[in-house]
Every structure is written in structure tokens, then in C-alpha cells.
């Protein structure tokens, strides 16, 4: 019995001192396992007189049961503690700054084209794709710019061979659209795309730039329709308070022709550096489709009339984003381009 007490005392102490699951397993191996000290106590049975055997066996079994229960309890306690420590160590600190991925985003120039396109899609226009390589016929002749016309000098051209050229204006798409419709159905389209001119590059000129052409051909189309359309466009693009003003101008393919100004979105018309003190900013060229052009492209000018306009994409983007140099659109400087990520 003394031996039992002695083992019990050591076992309890060992259990109490176990500070980790490894200590606890060591305790189990020493006392409770098959070859542990508690089972070993039973080997003393044979040394005992028969009348004491039962009491001795009972005592050992009780010790074993008590220690087993204490062991289980301690085990859950240590496991819970270990789990808590682990969670603590693996905690995610959501206040730490994240790693930002360098994802792509549209060029500012693309953003403007998309914005303008959306405005006209809302007004029921379709998008017509023109082509970069044109013939003299579509870029000039059908637009009432014959061979010897001085307007050809305004648009110094990159020729690929005697007949093919890089288009100098998206207006070439007007002629294609009209020819394709065969003079039969109304047209209400815009056509964004690249254009090319033999210009010396500087802050406001680029040999490659982009335009968005607009063309409406239907019955009873008037200058009032053109004005209303462009006014709505200017308000949606530059703000609801914007007004437009038409100034007389000249393009061979429109008659009459106008230059369209929008009231300055920066100063509201008072005069500032953006509008160069005038309160107005020129944004596009437009006019009523010249009857000669309708005729050449297959639309009877006695029946049909139309208007057309051409917006300079870079110019709008420069005004809109306060960009000072057109070359920025084409030099792919990432520091510049990334400014437009959020927009
Ligand atoms: N094509 C003209 C230009 O490049 C712009 C324009 C388009 C003018 C349509 C009138 C009508 O300057």
C-alpha cells in the first residue's frame, strides 16, 4: 500500500508539472502505459497474502482510473492552449498594407474614345469601322477634294504608292458608309480611328492622331439638328452648363461648314489660360454634308440631306485631363500612363 502511495504521489506531481503535450505523453508512458509504473504495481500482488489481494487490486485500479481521468483533462487543456497559441501566431493582420498588382488599364486616349462612343450610342448612333489604308478616291475625291484642290495641302499625306495612302481624316469613312448603303437607307453613325499627316511633331501636332467622325444622312436633316446634337454632346462630355457656339468655316465636303466652340469648362466663360482668355474652346469641325458629296456617294441630294462632324480625340483628351503635350499619348511613358488608372 505504501508503494501505491509513493507511485501515486510521483505520478500526480509529474502530471501537475507537465507543461506541454510532449511532457504529458512522457507522463503517460511512465505511469499509465502497459509497461508503466501503475501496471507494474500489480506484479506485487503475488507477494501478498490472499486476503489482501482484493483490496490491493482495487486500490491500484482506482489509482489508474483517477490518473487516466486527470490525464484526459490535462490533455484537452493543453491541446486548447496549443491551438490558441497557433491561432495567435498565424493571425492575419488586416491593417497591414497589401501588395498591389500591376494590372493594365486603358490609355487616356482610349478612355476618351469610349466616352464619346457611349454618348453617341445613347443617341442611337452605330459605330462604323473605317480603315487606316485608304485610296485617293475615298480620302479625297468622294469628299469633294479633287486632285488640284488646295485643301490637299492642308493635309499633307503619307502615300504608300500612287493610289494608296494613310488616311488623313476619318471623313473617308463617311464615303464608305454612304457607298455601302447604296443611297437607300438613312445613316446615323460615328467612326473613331487613327489618322495620319506629314506634320512635324511638336506639343500640339503629331503625325499620327485620332478622330471620331460623325455622319447623319436622312430626310429633312437640318443645321438645327447638327447644333442640337453637338450641344448635347458638349454637355455630356464637358458638363451640363456648357454652351456651344458655331463659327463659319470651310471644309470641301460640308456646306455650310462650321467650327464648333464649347464654353470653357475651366473658367465657365470668364477667360483663363486654357481658353486663352476668350471663354471659348474649339473642339471640332462640322457642317451639312455637301450635296456634291451626297451625289457622288449615291444619295440623291433632292431627297436626302445630312450633317457630319469630326472630333480630334487627343485635343479633347488634352483639354479634359489638362495634358500639355500631344506626344505624351504616343511615347508610352509609364509614369504618365499610370495617372489614368483610376479614371
Ligand atoms: N475631316 C475634317 C478634318 O480633319 C473634320 C470634319 C469632319 C469637318 C466632318 C467637317 C465634317 O479637319
Helix (H, G, I), strand (E, B) or coil at 187: strand
Ligand 1, atom nearest to 257 Cα: 10
pLDDT over 90 percentage in the chain: 70
Q: Output DSSP code: residue 183.
A: T
Candidate from 21-25, 148-152, 196-200, 297-301 with smallest mean pLDDT: 148-152
Quick: pLDDT tens for 247-257.
999 999 999 99
Q: Which residues line the pocket of ligand 1, CB cutoff 6 A?
A: 169, 171, 251, 254, 285-287, 308-310
Mark residue 332 as left, alpha or beta (left: phi above 0; alpha: psi -120 to 50; beta: remaining). Answer: left
pLDDT per residue as tens digits for the range 333-343: 888 888 887 65
Most ligand 1 atoms within 8 A of CB, residue of 233, 253, 257, 290 to mutate = 253
User: Could you give the CA distance from residue 311 to residue 49 in angstroms, rounded to a whole number?
Assistant: 116
Closest ligand 1 atom number to CA of residue 285? 8
Q: How far apart are CA 297 and CA 142, in angstroms?
A: 7
259: confidence class by pLDDT, cuts 50, 70, 90: very high
Give me ligand 1 centre to Cα 310, in Å: 5
CA of 332 to the centre of ligand 1 (A): 28
Distance 126 CA to ligand 1 centre (A): 19
Report the atom number in ligand 1 closest to the C-alpha of 195: 4
pTM for the whole structure:
0.71
Share of the chain above pLDDT 70, in %: 99
pLDDT at 342: 61
pLDDT score of 322: 84
Instruction: Give the per-residue pLDDT at 243.
Output: 94
- Nearest CA residue ID for atom 7, ligand 1: 310
**What H or E segment, with its residue span, contains residue 322?**
none
Q: Ligand 1 mean position to 19 CA, how many Å?
A: 86
From the DSSP assignment, how many helices (H) and strands (E) are in the chain?
Answer: 12, 9
Mutate to test the pocket of ligand 1, among 310, 311, 313 (most ligand atoms within 8 A of CB): 310
Average pLDDT over every residue of 319-339: 87
Average pLDDT for the chain: 92
Atom of ligand 1 lying closest to residue 174 CA: 9
Sheet holding 280-289, edge to edge: 126-127, 187-196, 208-218, 305-312, 280-289, 254-263, 244-251
User: Could you report the per-residue pLDDT of 96-128, keeping only the tens digit for each?
Assistant: 888 888 778 888 888 999 999 999 999 999 999
Q: In whole angstroms, what is the distance from residue 300 CA to residue 292 CA? A: 9
Query: What pLDDT sits at residue 87?
Result: 92
Within 8 A by CB and 6+ apart from 156, the residues are: 168, 197, 198, 199
- Mean pLDDT over 20-43 rounds to 92
- Please, which pLDDT band fits residue 319 given cuts at 50, 70 and 90? confident
What is the CA(138)–ligand 1 centre distance, in A? 14
Q: Is the pLDDT of residue 219 over 90?
A: yes
Banded pLDDT at 43 (limits 50, 70, 90): confident
Give residue 172 CA to ligand 1 midpoint distance, Å.
10
Q: What is the pLDDT of residues 145-194, one digit of tens each?
A: 988 887 776 678 999 998 899 999 999 999 999 999 999 999 999 999 99
Residue among 28, 9, 38 at smallest CA distance from 78: 28
Does the annotation list 255 as a binding residue? Answer: yes
Who contacts 211 (Cβ-Cβ below 8 Å, separation ≥6)?
169, 170, 192, 193, 195, 310, 311, 312, 313
Atom 4 in ligand 1: residue holding the nearest Cα: 169
Q: How far apart are the first and last CA of the chain?
A: 87
* Residues 266 and 240: beta-carbon distance below 8 Å: no
Amino acid at each position: 500500500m505504501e508503494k501505491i502511495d509513493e507511485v501515486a504521489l510521483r505520478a500526480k506531481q509529474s502530471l501537475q508539472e507537465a507543461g506541454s503535450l510532449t511532457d504529458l505523453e512522457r507522463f503517460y508512458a511512465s505511469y499509465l502505459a502497459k509497461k508503466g509504473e501503475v501496471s507494474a504495481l500489480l506484479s506485487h500482488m503475488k507477494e501478498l497474502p490472499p486476503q489482501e489481494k482484493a483490496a490491493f487490486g482495487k486500490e491500484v485500479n482506482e489509482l489508474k482510473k483517477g490518473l487516466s481521468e486527470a490525464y484526459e483533462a490535462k490533455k484537452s487543456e493543453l491541446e486548447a492552449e496549443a491551438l490558441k497559441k497557433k491561432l495567435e501566431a498565424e493571425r492575419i493582420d488586416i491593417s497591414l498594407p497589401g501588395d498591389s498588382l500591376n494590372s493594365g488599364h486603358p490609355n487616356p486616349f482610349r478612355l476618351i474614345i469610349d466616352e464619346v462612343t457611349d454618348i453617341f450610342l445613347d443617341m442611337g448612333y452605330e459605330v462604323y469601322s473605317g480603315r487606316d489604308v485608304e485610296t485617293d478616291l475615298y480620302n479625297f475625291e468622294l469628299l469633294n477634294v479633287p486632285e488640284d484642290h488646295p485643301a490637299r495641302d492642308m493635309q499633307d499625306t503619307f502615300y504608300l504608292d500612287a493610289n494608296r495612302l494613310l488616311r488623313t481624316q476619318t471623313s473617308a469613312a463617311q464615303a464608305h458608309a454612304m457607298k455601302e448603303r447604296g443611297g437607300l437607307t438613312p445613316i446615323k453613325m460615328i467612326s473613331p480611328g487613327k489618322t495620319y499627316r506629314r506634320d512635324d511633331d511638336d506639343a500640339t501636332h503629331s503625325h499620327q492622331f485620332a478622330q471620331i467622325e460623325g455622319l447623319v444622312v436622312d430626310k429633312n436633316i437640318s443645321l438645327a439638328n447638327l447644333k442640337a446634337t453637338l450641344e448635347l454632346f458638349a454637355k455630356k462630355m464637358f458638363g451640363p452648363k456648357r454652351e456651344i457656339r458655331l463659327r463659319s468655316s470651310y471644309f470641301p465636303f460640308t456646306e455650310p461648314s462650321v467650327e464648333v466652340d464649347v464654353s470653357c469648362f475651366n473658367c465657365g466663360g470668364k477667360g483663363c489660360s486654357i481658353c486663352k482668355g476668350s471663354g471659348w474652346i474649339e473642339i471640332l469641325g462640322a457642317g451639312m454634308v455637301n450635296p456634291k458629296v451626297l451625289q457622288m456617294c449615291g444619295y440623291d441630294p433632292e431627297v436626302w440631306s445630312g450633317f457630319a462632324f469630326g472630333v480630334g480625340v487627343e485635343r479633347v483628351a488634352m483639354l479634359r485631363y489638362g495634358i500639355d503635350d500631344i506626344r505624351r499619348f504616343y511615347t508610352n511613358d509609364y509614369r504618365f500612363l499610370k495617372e489614368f488608372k483610376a479614371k
